[in-house]
């Protein structure tokens, strides 16, 4: 199946900084918890972190990748500068409202 690329533009408002965490967990009752652990280890490896970077996200280990010389330079240079100052995290109500808007408008965006 061919991959479809949707053009995207990263916009960081000049008057606000907004962020969100991505949480993951491994269930101790999972049928293969060691496989889940290996997946987590991959995500936080230099390879996994560079994949986040290539997706235009700031990986949690970015400073370590840069310090160790393991960062994907092209992807790193493509990131817009991080805003200075405090970062605001959305409330659960704000997150739910944003999710609803995305769900309602998704088909019109990717058509």
* Domain extent listing, the chain: 30-81
8 Å CB contact between 91 and 69: no
pLDDT in tens, the chain (111 residues): 556 677 777 777 776 666 776 777 788 788 888 888 898 899 999 999 999 999 888 898 999 999 999 999 999 999 888 777 777 788 889 889 988 998 888 877 665
DSSP state of 40: H
Q: At how many degrees (to 10) do helices 46-54 and 33-43 cross?
A: 60
Tokens of 28: 């101790």
Contacts of 89 by beta carbon, 8 Å cutoff, 6+ apart: 18, 19, 20, 21
Instruction: Give me the phi and psi of 77, to 5 degrees please.
Output: -70, -25
Tokens of 93: 């109500």
Dihedral of the alpha carbons of 80, 99, 42, 46, in degrees to the nearest 10: 10
């Amino acid at each position: 199946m061919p991959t479809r690329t949707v053009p995207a533009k990263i916009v960081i408002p000049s008057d606000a900084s907004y962020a969100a965490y991505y949480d993951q967990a491994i269930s101790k009752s999972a049928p293969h918890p060691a496989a889940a652990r290996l997946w987590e280890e991959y995500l936080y490896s230099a390879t996994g972190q560079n994949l986040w970077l290539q997706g235009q996200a700031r990986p949690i280990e970015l400073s370590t990748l840069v310090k160790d010389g393991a960062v994907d330079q092209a992807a790193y240079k493509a990131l817009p500068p991080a805003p200075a100052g405090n970062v605001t995290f959305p409330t659960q109500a704000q997150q739910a409202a944003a999710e609803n808007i995305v769900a309602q408008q998704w088909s019109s965006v990717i058509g």
